[in-house]
Structure 1
Amino acid sequence: MPYLVCAIITAISAAVSFGYSIAALRTAGGEAKTLALYAGGRSAALLLGAIAALVLQQAGWLFAIATMMIIVQAFDAYIGTTIKDRLKTFGPALTALFNLAALIWAILG
Structure 2
Amino acid sequence: MSVESMRIIMNGLVDRLHPGLPGSALGDVLDQLIYLTDDNGSDLLQVCREWIRGSDLRRADAALSLSEVFLFNTREDLEAELGAAADRWPELAPRVAKILNDWDRIQPD
Q: Same fold (TM over 0.5)?
A: no
Question: Higher helix fraction: Structure 1 or Structure 2?
Answer: 1
Shorter-chain TM band: 0.3 to 0.5
TM-score normalised by L of structure 1: 0.33
Greater C-alpha Rg = 1
TM-score normalised by structure 2 residue count: 0.33
